[in-house]
C-alpha cells in the first residue's frame, strides 16, 4: 500500500499548486458571483470574462511596496502571515480526494499523507494557524490590529470547540480519525450528511466562524476595525493573509465534503472530479451567504457560539454515541 517517497513529493507539489490556483480563481469567482447577485458584472477587464484578473492582482501585490509601521515588532510581524499561509496549505495534505491508483506498478494514494490522526491533525494545524492572526495583529502595535486579533482569538477559540464536537458524531459512525477510512465507510453506506444532519449544520456554522466569513466576519469588520488584524499589512504580506483565509475556506469545504458528503464517491467513477465539484458547491454556498446575510453583533456571536451551538453539538455527539451503542 505504501508509495515511494518521491511520488509523495511530486504529489505534494502538484496539490499545493492546484490549491494555490484554486485560491486565485476562488477570489475571482467570489467577486463574479457577488457581482451577479448584486446585479453588477464583477471584474471583466483583464482577459476574457476577467479570467486573468487573479494574475493581475498577484502582479499588483508583488510589486507593491511592503511597508510596515515603524513601531511594529519586526520578526513576528514578518513571520505571522507566513505561519498562517503555511498551516492553511499544510492542512490540505490530509484530505483524500481520490481512491488511489496503481500506475506502472507504482502505488499512488488518493491523499498526500495518510495518518491515523488525520482529523486531529487538521484541527491542530488550524489551531496553529490562529497564531498568525494573533501575532500579526499584536506585532503591528496598532489599536485596530490588537482589537481585531483579540476578536479573532476569542471567536476562533470559541467556535473551535463546537467544530470539533460536531465532527464527533462522524468519528463515532466512521470509527476512525483517519479521513480515507471515513470516506470509504460512507462510500459503502450513505453520506453522513443524512444521519449526522445536525452535526453538519453545527459544522457549517462553526466553519463560517472559523474562517471569519460573513455573517461571522467580525474580526475584519471594516466599519469598526478598518480591517482587523491585518490593518497594518500591505503588499504580499497582506496577500499571504488573504491566501491563508481562502485556503482555510477551501480546506474546510474539502473537509466538509470528506466528512459529510462521502468525499470523492459518486454515481460515476470519476473520483477527484466529484470531490472538486462537491467542494465547489460548498464554496458557492459560503459566497452566497456572504451576499445574503448581515453581520452579527459581537455579543450575539459569542452567545450563539456558547449557548446554542455548543450544547447542540454536545447533545448531538451524545445522542449519536447512544444510538450507535444501542444498534
Residues at the site binding other proteins, with contacts judged by CB under 8 A = 76, 115-117, 120-121, 123-124, 126-128, 130-131, 134-135, 138, 146, 149-150, 153-154, 156-157, 160, 176-177
User: H/E/C letters for each residue in 62-112?
Assistant: HHCCCCCCCCCCHHHHHHHHHHHHHHHHHHHHHCCCCCCEEECCEEECCCC
> Nearest distance from residue 137's CB to other proteins, in Å?
8
| Residue 65 vs 74, nearer CB to other proteins | 74
> Nearest distance from residue 99's CB to other proteins, in Å?
23
Q: Rg of the Cα trace of the chain? A: 20
C-alpha cell at 74: 519586526
> Nearest distance from residue 150's CB to other proteins, in Å?
6
**Helix, strand, or coil here: 217?**
coil
| Residue 134 vs 250, nearer CB to other proteins | 134
| Residue 132 vs 239, nearer CB to other proteins | 132
Residues written for the chain: 327
| Residue 46 vs 150, nearer CB to other proteins | 150
Q: Are 37 and 288 in contact (CB under 8 A)?
A: yes
| Residue 149 vs 242, nearer CB to other proteins | 149
- Specify the DSSP class assigned to residue 208: H
| Residue 19 vs 146, nearer CB to other proteins | 146
Q: Residue 308 and residue 311: Cα distance in Å, rounded? A: 6
**Helix, strand, or coil here: 47?**
coil
Q: Across the chain, which distance is largest between two alpha carbons, in Å? A: 64
> Nearest distance from residue 154's CB to other proteins, in Å?
7
> Nearest distance from residue 125's CB to other proteins, in Å?
8
- Specify the DSSP class assigned to residue 299: H
> Nearest distance from residue 315's CB to other proteins, in Å?
17
**Angle in degrees, CA 75, 217, 88, rounded to 5:** 50
Amino acid at each position: 500500500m505504501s508509495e515511494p517517497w518521491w511520488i509523495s513529493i511530486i504529489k505534494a507539489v502538484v496539490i499545493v499548486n492546484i490549491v494555490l490556483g484554486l485560491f486565485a480563481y476562488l477570489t475571482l469567482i467570489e467577486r463574479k458571483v457577488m457581482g451577479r447577485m448584486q446585479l453588477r458584472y464583477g471584474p471583466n477587464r483583464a482577459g476574457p470574462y476577467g479570467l486573468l484578473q487573479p494574475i493581475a492582482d498577484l502582479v499588483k501585490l508583488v510589486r507593491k511596496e511592503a511597508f510596515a509601521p515603524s513601531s511594529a515588532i519586526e520578526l513576528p510581524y514578518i513571520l505571522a502571515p507566513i505561519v498562517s499561509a503555511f498551516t492553511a496549505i499544510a492542512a490540505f495534505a490530509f484530505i483524500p480526494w481520490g481512491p488511489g491508483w496503481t500506475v506502472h506498478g507504482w502505488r499512488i494514494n488518493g491523499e498526500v499523507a495518510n495518518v491515523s490522526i488525520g482529523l486531529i491533525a487538521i484541527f491542530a494545524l488550524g489551531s496553529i494557524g490562529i497564531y498568525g492572526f494573533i501575532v500579526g495583529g499584536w506585532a503591528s502595535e496598532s489599536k485596530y490590529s490588537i482589537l481585531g486579533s483579540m476578536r479573532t482569538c476569542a471567536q476562533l477559540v470559541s467556535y473551535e470547540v463546537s467544530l470539533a464536537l460536531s465532527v464527533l458524531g462522524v468519528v463515532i459512525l466512521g470509527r476512525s480519525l483517519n479521513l480515507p477510512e471515513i470516506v470509504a465507510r460512507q462510500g459503502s453506506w450513505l453520506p453522513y450528511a443524512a444521519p449526522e444532519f445536525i452535526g453538519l449544520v453545527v459544522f457549517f456554522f462553526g466553519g463560517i466562524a472559523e474562517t471569519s466569513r460573513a455573517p461571522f466576519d467580525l474580526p475584519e469588520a471594516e466599519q469598526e476595525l478598518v480591517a482587523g488584524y491585518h490593518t497594518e499589512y500591505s503588499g504580499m504580506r497582506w496577500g499571504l493573509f488573504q491566501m491563508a483565509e481562502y485556503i482555510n475556506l477551501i480546506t474546510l469545504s474539502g473537509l466538509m465534503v470528506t466528512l459529510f458528503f462521502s468525499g470523492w464517491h459518486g454515481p460515476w467513477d470519476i473520483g477527484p472530479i466529484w470531490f472538486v465539484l462537491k467542494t465547489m458547491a460548498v464554496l458557492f454556498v459560503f459566497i452566497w451567504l456572504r451576499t445574503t446575510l448581515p453581520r452579527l453583533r459581537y455579543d450575539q456571536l459569542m452567545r450563539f457560539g456558547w449557548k446554542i451551538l455548543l450544547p447542540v453539538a454536545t447533545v448531538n455527539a451524545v445522542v449519536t454515541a447512544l444510538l450507535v451503542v444501542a444498534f
